[in-house]
Amino acid sequence: MAFALVDCESFYASCERIFRPDLKNIPIVVLSNNDGCVIARSTEAKKMGIGMGVPWFKVRENFLKQNGQVFSSNFTFYGDISARVMNILEGFVPRVEVYSIDEAFLDFDTLKQNYDLYDFSCHIRALIKQWTGIPVRIGIAPNKTLTKIAINEIKRRNIPTSVLYLSNEKEIWSALAHTSVNKVWGVGRRLTEHLNNAGINTALDLAQISPQNIRKKFSVVLERTVRELRGERCLDIDDDISSKKQIVVSRSFGQRISDLKELKPIVSNFAVRAAEKLRSEKQKCSQVSVFVRTSPFNKNKPQHSDLKTIGLLTPTNDTRDILTAATKGLQPIFRPGYDYAKAGIILNKFSDEQSKQYSLFKDPNEPKENTKFMKYIDQINTYKTQIYFASQNTKKWSPMKQNMASPRYTTDWYELPEVN
């Protein structure tokens, strides 16, 4: 009985190094939208004491003085590299649960009889590094919670192979003894305080408490965690990629916007992107919401936030329908005299793309849905937006500050790396 957790090391920073070998051993930080806070750090940056979530302006001068390299977030690039890593994993094991952009659980149960799981994991790690340039850690254990413990042990012990198999009780108990209770999967800050007050400071302390007592004093969720720390399996691999129930496309603006004429094309861009995501999910929606808000942090300016939901009589994934609804929704919630800091589009009430629903009351002015037409546009725009809708902003302008973004090396023909 064995699961594995594949954890990409300093993922965003590692992505930035793929096409920049000169950045090896150089401290790297990646910033949030609008270049506000640090959201990712290389190992070298962590050793410098750069904290997660720290405002960039507070560490900028000292970081750059030490020859650190800073990047604006490049989620298009990171998402593509993540997909490549996950595709490799899916070629090796029967079940993969993509847990996050840089983590995946693997089902090793059926492989244990035919493979040495440690050597097998080392092989997977080597191929991922060779084929994508991304270094990964792999923790192997009887269940999900213990694979997380194994990853923590790899970091703590600085294991050269970056692979650890907790295969017996002695190894598991030793790892738990060296793991603070706040490092246990699912144990947050407030719960840590309660556990510490009860004399529970390590994962081993928690594992030695009766699951029944934990359930009475805390919750059934923590009871499940305790059982997994003791070697039981309570959580299975969730490889069912179910369709999303909501799609949200929103951004904070690098510069405040107070003009409706300026805001409309931005919201149109969001609506177009949301429609593309909807079609990629093979879904249709029957509800489009638009929202706007000012910055809650600017107390000296008047505040306003609002949301308008437009119901569609017939489910659709046609960009033109969603654009029409977005425009209808934006008009009544916009107020002159306010400096808007963020806007977005939310799609709800999904149905399968193949399903047919008709309405006796369909608005005759709504554009007729044309699935093939949308498909052709998606194909043309796959690597570079070539076709725009009339209401979109076609200028090379972004509502976000991303002054230090690297090229989208793998997703844009015009940003391919050049070799001299």
Nearest 5°: the CA angle 277, 280, 283 is 90
The DSSP annotation for 244-284 comes to PS-EEEEEEEEEEE--HHHHHHHHHHHHHHHHHHHHHTTEE
E-strand stretches of 126-184 = 136-141, 163-165
Min mean pLDDT across 96-100, 186-190, 238-242 is at: 238-242
Cβ-Cβ contacts under 8 Å for 180 (sequence gap 6 or more): 201, 202, 203
Min mean pLDDT across 83-92, 243-252, 272-281, 376-385 is at: 376-385
CB 144 within 8 A of CB 112: no
- Looking at residue 392, its pLDDT comes to 67
- Looking at residue 390, its pLDDT comes to 65
Q: Is 259 inside a domain boundary?
A: yes
- Looking at residue 359, its pLDDT comes to 52
Mind listing the pLDDT tens digit for each residue in 27-85? 999 998 778 899 999 999 999 999 999 999 899 999 999 999 999 988 889 999 999 99
Domain check: are 287 and 328 in the same one? yes
Domain check: are 190 and 213 in the same one? yes
Domain count for the chain: 3
Domain check: are 366 and 232 in the same one? no
Nearest 5°: the CA angle 81, 83, 88 is 100
The pLDDT of residue 11 is above 90: yes
Task: Of 307, 313, 306, give the one whose Cα is nearest residue 349.
Answer: 313
**Average pLDDT estimate for 236-251:** 74
With cut-offs at 50, 70 and 90, classify the pLDDT of residue 405.
Answer: confident
Task: Report how far Cα 167 is from the mean position of its chain's Cα atoms.
Answer: 31
- Looking at residue 314, its pLDDT comes to 87
Domain check: are 234 and 270 in the same one? no
Q: Is 70 inside a domain boundary?
A: yes
CATH of residue 374: 3.30.1490.100
The pLDDT of residue 5 is above 70: yes
Q: Is 145 inside a domain boundary?
A: no
Q: Provide the domain limits for residue 132.
A: 1-140
- Looking at residue 356, its pLDDT comes to 59
- Looking at residue 184, its pLDDT comes to 93
**Average pLDDT estimate for 291-305:** 85
Higher pLDDT, 387 or 325: 325
- Looking at residue 414, its pLDDT comes to 77
- Looking at residue 409, its pLDDT comes to 82
Cα distance between residue 82 and residue 377, in whole Å: 25
- Looking at residue 353, its pLDDT comes to 72
**Average pLDDT estimate for 325-343:** 92
Mind listing the pLDDT tens digit for each residue in 140-186? 999 999 999 999 999 999 999 999 999 899 999 999 999 999 999 98
With cut-offs at 50, 70 and 90, classify the pLDDT of residue 117.
Answer: very high
**Average pLDDT estimate for 95-121:** 90
Min mean pLDDT across 258-267, 273-282, 338-347, 407-416 is at: 407-416
The pLDDT of residue 241 is above 70: no
Retrieve residue 39's tokens. 């959201």
- Looking at residue 391, its pLDDT comes to 65
**Average pLDDT estimate for 259-270:** 91
Mean pLDDT of the chain: 86
CATH of residue 224: 1.10.150.20
Higher pLDDT, 98 or 418: 98
Domain check: are 60 and 178 in the same one? no
CB 362 within 8 A of CB 313: yes
The pLDDT of residue 119 is above 70: yes
With cut-offs at 50, 70 and 90, classify the pLDDT of residue 94.
Answer: confident
Domain boundary among 86, 120, 140: 140
With cut-offs at 50, 70 and 90, classify the pLDDT of residue 395.
Answer: low
CB 345 within 8 A of CB 326: yes
Domain check: are 217 and 325 in the same one? no
- Looking at residue 125, its pLDDT comes to 96
Domain check: are 3 and 98 in the same one? yes
Domain check: are 33 and 129 in the same one? yes
Domain check: are 197 and 286 in the same one? no
Domain check: are 70 and 199 in the same one? no
Domain boundary among 121, 140, 159: 140
Cβ-Cβ contacts under 8 Å for 184 (sequence gap 6 or more): 145, 148, 149, 203, 206, 225, 229
* pTM for this predicted structure: 0.71
- Looking at residue 24, its pLDDT comes to 92
Mind listing the pLDDT tens digit for each residue in 194-218? 999 989 999 999 999 999 998 988 8
Domain check: are 237 and 252 in the same one? no
Q: Is 162 inside a domain boundary?
A: no
- Looking at residue 363, its pLDDT comes to 54
The pLDDT of residue 412 is above 90: no
Domain check: are 206 and 74 in the same one? no
CATH of residue 54: 3.30.70.270
